[in-house]
């Protein structure tokens, strides 16, 4: 096979046209045996071009050369976070429809913050020593590509694996047969009793070997010791985090975290490229054990590599650490594609790669370059809002509990307090939005009433916010930070050790992500038109001869398929 292909390439090069043997001519109706939905968590749209010269053969380069590469792909909504990103990629929809507005939000019925996937009706499996709620996809209100696949191809399988629970669960189908993520409490991969009563035997065997324990005496070192990392990164402002006793510069030890606690050690593993390696090892085991792409029907494998996100939060997108985790991601993709070639067969699978969001440079790095940048403290927003309401509606009276909860850029009013003080929600919203708009670093503030008033048109920020808003889950007033500003506590807070920058805004550094699809019948080439990442779901659906998921907002871009 290799020899024949080699000759084909030589002949094609000589005559200047691509001539493939008849049995290798890709056709759209040759349905792939396996679809791979590949997500790199926090992978900005410029990383492919920025480090193009540093990638090896067979990884990103292969995808970019043999696939349709959309260089101008942006999320259309404002709150660019992990859970909304994964739910949007899988459903082809927006948070306004699928309801996953953030990673966590305030649940008014429960009277507490909830994560996007926690579900107390279930338990984690294997169960951790400390009671932790289980998880399920019930909050996602739209069907995914996996749901459509299972409805149509009864013998098909959907497997979804990630380091993060929300990423695995939100990418998967409602009734995915295989769904696992990594527990930093236990150092093993877990699922939820929502999916199964017992972990699969191959997962139990994988866990029993304790692969995550392999680095306890080790360091995270640069993958390419002869490459001048500093030349390809920077500037370095000295504002990088230290992670979990890992330090702000290479080499990053694991043993210091291990000395502190097992949880710190496993957190350090996921806050390094080693977590991605673990996931790849599990993915291979899954393909092998479940014979994905090797059965009678079509299967879907969703893989979300989370470590790029954690490393990016800690050391920032201009760091040597993000360069290293990206170079290693390139090698990991080569390893995965080689494995798929061997197990499923080259040309018999389709791979779609994207990301859930980009990232803002560390504000201190941007400030060093002379641009305006900074941090907007969430606590300050909450205080300012409460002060404004007290001043406007209960001046010189005892302090009232105006704000019930806040999450990220969102504030949730205490509706009982408003009622008691005879203040309408619209009055309160207006007062708070006006006060927050004056906070340094705030670009704009919006209210629930404005978002729900369809007659307010023509504000591009409001339009994007509408796509992030779900009336049951979103709050009452929200702010958008100015470019290069992030909602974040002080850089000296304990959380900032591993969390120095973030994402979640409608600015291009957060919305811009890669989109590449490679598979039978896909026309290779660089595509410069603006698209949304949700196009991934509809392209994958069409490639598998499936209808698009019912909430899909995008169409298949013209010219994606080779002409037959």
Helix (H) or strand (E) holding 148: helix 145-152
User: Which stretch, 56-64, 151-159, 307-315, 529-537, contacts Zn ion (CB under 5 A)?
Assistant: 307-315
b (16+ CB within 10 A) / e for 400-425: bebbbbbbbbbbbbbeebbeebebeb
Match 């739910």 to its residue by tokens.
87
**Smallest distance, Zn ion to C-beta of residue 444, A:** 23
**Sequence-separated (6 or more) residues with CB below 8 Å from residue 346:** none
Shortest Cβ 355–Zn ion spacing (Å): 10
3-class secondary-structure state, position 437? helix
4 to 23: interface string for Zn ion, x by CB under 5 A: --------------------
Question: Per-residue x/- marks for Zn ion, 255-284, CB under 5 A?
Answer: ------------------------------
CA distance 435 to 479: 11
Give 85 or 551: the residue with its C-beta nearer to Zn ion.
85
Minimum distance of Zn ion from residue 81's CB (angstroms) = 7
CB-nearer residue toward Zn ion: 503 or 527: 503
Cα Rg of the chain, angstroms: 24
- Number of residues this chain uses to bind Zn ion (CB under 5 A): 1
Residue 66 binds to Zn ion (criterion: CB under 5 A): no
The yes or no reply on residue 309 touching Zn ion (CB under 5 A) is yes
Residue 158 or residue 303: which is nearer to Zn ion going by CB? 303
DSSP 210-275: -GGGGGTT-EE--S-TTS-GGGGS----S----TTTT-SSSSEESHHHHHH-HHHHHHHHHTSTHH
**Residue 550 Cβ, how far from Zn ion at the closest point, in Å?**
28
With respect to Zn ion, which residue has the nearer C-beta, 290 or 309?
Answer: 309
Closer to Zn ion by CB, 93 or 308: give it: 308
Interface region with Zn ion, contact rule CB under 5 A, candidates 304-312, 434-442, 487-495, 515-523: 304-312
Helix (H) or strand (E) holding 336: helix 320-343
Return the number of the residue (156 or 504) whose C-beta is nearest Zn ion: 504
Least distance from Zn ion to the Cβ atom of residue 309, Å: 4
Q: Give the shortest CB-356-to-Zn ion separation in angstroms.
A: 8
Q: How far is the CB of 271 from Zn ion (least distance, A)?
A: 12
Smallest gap from Cβ 438 to Zn ion, in A, equals: 28
Q: How far apart, in whole angstroms, are the C-alpha atoms of residue 239 and residue 253?
A: 19
Min. distance of Cβ 409 from Zn ion in angstroms?
Answer: 15
Pair 546, 148: CB distance under 8 Å: yes
118 sits near Zn ion (criterion: CB under 5 A): no
Which of residues 164 and 334 has its CB atom nearest to Zn ion in the complex? 164
Closest separation in Å from C-beta 502 to Zn ion: 6
Is it true that the peptide bond before 126 is cis, omega within 30 degrees of 0?
A: yes
Q: Which residue is nearest to Zn ion (CB)?
A: 309
Which of residues 31 and 375 has its CB atom nearest to Zn ion in the complex? 375
Nearer to Zn ion, 309 or 321 (CB): 309
User: For residues 46 and 510, what is the distance between their CA atoms, to the nearest angstrom?
Assistant: 11
Stretch that binds Zn ion, among 91-99, 275-283, 303-311, 323-331 (CB under 5 A): 303-311
Alpha helices in 394-501 (DSSP H): 415-420, 425-437, 448-452, 460-468
147: nearest Cα among 304, 300, 352: 300
Q: Give the residue with the Cβ less far from Zn ion, 310 or 323.
A: 310
- Alpha-carbon distance of 150 to 430, in angstroms, equals 47
Task: Return residues touching Zn ion (CB under 5 A).
Answer: 309
């Amino acid at each position: 096979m290799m020899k024949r292909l080699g000759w084909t390439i030589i002949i094609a090069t000589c005559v200047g046209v691509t001539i493939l043997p008849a049995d290798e001519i890709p056709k759209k109706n040759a349905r792939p045996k396996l679809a791979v939905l590949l997500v790199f968590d926090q992978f900005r749209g410029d990383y492919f071009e920025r480090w193009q010269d540093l990638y090896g053969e067979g990884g990103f380069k292969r995808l970019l050369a043999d696939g349709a590469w959309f260089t101008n792909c942006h999320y259309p909504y404002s709150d660019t976070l992990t859970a909304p990103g994964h739910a949007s990629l899988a459903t082809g929809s927006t948070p306004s429809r699928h309801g996953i507005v953030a990673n966590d939000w305030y649940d008014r019925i429960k009277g507490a913050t909830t994560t996007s996937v926690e579900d107390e009706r279930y338990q984690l499996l294997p169960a951790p020593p400390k009671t932790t709620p289980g998880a399920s996809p019930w909050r996602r209100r739209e069907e995914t590509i996996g749901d459509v696949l299972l409805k149509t191809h009864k013998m098909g399988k959907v497997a979804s694996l990630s380091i993060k629970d929300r990423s695995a669960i939100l990418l998967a189908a409602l009734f995915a047969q295989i769904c696992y993520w990594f527990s930093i409490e236990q150092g093993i991969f877990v699922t939820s009793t929502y999916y199964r009563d017992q972990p699969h035997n191959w997962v139990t065997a994988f866990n029993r070997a304790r692969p995550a324990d392999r680095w306890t005496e080790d360091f995270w070192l640069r993958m390419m010791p002869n490459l001048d990392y500093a030349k390809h990164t920077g500037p370095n402002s000295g504002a990088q985090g230290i992670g979990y006793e890992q330090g702000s510069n290479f080499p990053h030890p694991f043993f210091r975290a291990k000395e502190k606690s097992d949880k710190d050690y496993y957190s350090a593993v996921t806050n390094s490229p080693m977590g991605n390696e673990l996931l790849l090892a599990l993915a291979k085991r899954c393909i092998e054990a479940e014979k994905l792409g090797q059965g009678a029907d079509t299967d879907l494998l969703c893989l979300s590599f989370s470590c790029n996100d954690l490393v990016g939060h800690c050391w920032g997108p201009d760091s040597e650490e993000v360069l290293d985790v990206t170079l290693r991601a390139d090698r990991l993709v080569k390893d995965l594609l080689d494995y798929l070639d061997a197990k499923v067969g080259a040309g018999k699978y389709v791979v779609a790669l994207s990301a859930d969001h980009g990232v803002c440079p560390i504000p201190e790095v941007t400030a060093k370059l002379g641009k305006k940048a900074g941090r907007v403290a969430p606590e300050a927003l909450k205080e300012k809002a409460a002060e404004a309401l007290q001043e406007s509606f209960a001046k010189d009276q005892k302090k009232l509990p105006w704000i019930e909860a806040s999450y990220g850029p969102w504030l949730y009013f205490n509706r009982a307090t408003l009622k008691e003080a005879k203040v309408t929600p619209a009055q309160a919203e207006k007062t708070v939005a006006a006060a927050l708009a004056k906070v340094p670093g705030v670009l704009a503030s919006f209210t629930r009433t404005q978002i729900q008033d369809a007659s307010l048109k023509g504000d591009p920020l409001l339009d994007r916010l509408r796509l992030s808003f779900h009336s049951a889950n979103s709050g009452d007033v929200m702010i958008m930070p100015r470019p290069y500003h992030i909602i974040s506590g002080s850089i000296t807070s304990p959380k900032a050790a591993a969390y120095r920058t973030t994402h979640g805004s409608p600015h291009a550094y957060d919305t811009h992500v890669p989109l590449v699809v490679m598979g039978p019948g896909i026309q290779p080439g660089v595509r410069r038109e603006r698209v949304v990442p949700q196009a991934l779901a509809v392209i994958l659906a069409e490639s598998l001869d499936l209808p698009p998921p019912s909430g899909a907002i995008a169409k298949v871009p013209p010219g994606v398929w080779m002409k037959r």
